[in-house]
A and B are shown apart, each in its own frame.
Chain A
Amino acid sequence: MSTQPKRRGLEVEDHGEITVVNFIDKKILDEQSIQKIGEDLFSLVDELGRKKILINFSNVEYLSSAALGKFITLNKKVNASGGKLVMCNINDDIFEVFEITKLNKLFNILKDEQTGLQAF
């Protein structure tokens, strides 16, 4: 396992071929942070060529529809590259946001990081 330098808003670790992303901020709400998080997430695929990405939401307490939009775009990019995106450790309040927007059907959401790592 190797740790890469912190990106503002994100902490990225490599577990073999799998890139695990954690959020530093508890609130993925404001537009500027989301814009930066989106750019950093997209660069994992577009510039670094990562194909197996696990997003860990354990630190996240809030997110907005703009953040959902970034995850949707990331999912498209990962799928287009032949890779796989998995999400884990989503708390009940945030899972409800995915559920009511039906995005739980679009994303592969698993219970915890261990289960997520085994899904690749």
Chain B
Amino acid sequence: MKIALLPESFSVSGGIPDPFDSPDKSPFQPLFASRVSAGFPSPADDYVEGGIDLHRHLVKNPAATFFAKASGDSMQLKGIYDGDLLVVDRSLSAKTGDVVIAAIDGELVCKILDLSNRQLVPANPSYPPITLCDEAECLIEGVVTHAIRYL
């Protein structure tokens, strides 16, 4: 694995940059393509891009997004395992096939939405589907857009 290096001359001046200053700024330092030696500047440094800000990539609607922790094995076949970090967006309207968070009997659950059969379907055959009652729409708490696993 190749690791990009910070130039030797890299220094922090004017105070440490504020990574949380504004949502537009990336909290990541730019990576320089090469080690800078005195005298000859690297021709690649003109092509420096901002780092990849995962948060901005994963969270499209910050005000409507919350994180949740998956528990149990009922969503295994969809690739969601115990302990996964789920990104949940409330601003999306849930469609059939979406992985959703719903409130069932006072518990938050993660299942696949099936609107035509009015069911919440687990992604594991050893669990039965949950039938939705009439006001089911208001029980959907958000659409899961990403699952992040700790390895």
A and B bind: no
